[in-house]
Amino acid sequence: MSAPKKYSPEQLMNVVLAPIVSEKSTLVADKHEQVVFRVADAASKPEIKAAVELLFKVKVESVQVLNVKGKQKRFGRHMGKRRSWKKAYVCLAPGQEINFGALE
C-alpha cells in the first residue's frame, strides 16, 4: 500500500490536517465504515486517498469532499468571518479501521 509515484511523501504529509471527532463523524464511522478528516484547502480526492493510505497503512475505497463555509461572527460592533475549510469523508475497505485512541 505505497503511495502513487506522482505524489512525494513530503507533499502528502501536509494534506491531512486533523481527524474530526464529533457525534456525526462517529455515527458515520460506525454505520458506513468512513472516517472524517480536516484536509488542506487545495487537496484533491486522489491526494487525500494517497495521504490516508500512506499515514495510516489502510486501504481506501473512496473519498467524498465537502467545502465548509466560514461562519459570520461579530467582534464587538464589527462583523467578521471565520475562514472556510475542507472536510473529507474517507470510505475504508471492508475490514479496515483507523483507531485514534491508540494515537494518544
**Tens-binned pLDDT, residue by residue, of the chain (104 aa):** 555 568 888 889 999 999 999 999 989 888 888 999 999 999 999 999 999 999 999 999 999 999 999 999 999 999 999 999 999 999 999 988 887 765 55
When divided into structural domains, the chain yields a total of: 1
Domain that holds residue 13: 9-94
pLDDT, residue 97, reads 83
Asked if residue 1 is part of any domain, the answer here is: no
Asked if residue 37 is part of any domain, the answer here is: yes
Q: What is the CATH number of the domain that holds 77?
A: 3.30.70.330
Question: Amino acid letter at 85?
Answer: W
Asked if residue 60 is part of any domain, the answer here is: yes
Asked if residue 68 is part of any domain, the answer here is: yes
Asked if residue 40 is part of any domain, the answer here is: yes
Asked if residue 23 is part of any domain, the answer here is: yes
pTM, two decimal places: 0.83
Asked if residue 104 is part of any domain, the answer here is: no
pLDDT, residue 5, reads 63
Cell numbers for 62: 473512496
SS (H, E, C) the chain: CCCCCCCCHHHHCCCEEEECCCHHHHHHHHHHCEEEEEECCCCCHHHHHHHHHHHHCCCEEEEEEEEECCCEEEECCEEEECCCEEEEEEEECCCCCCCHHHHC
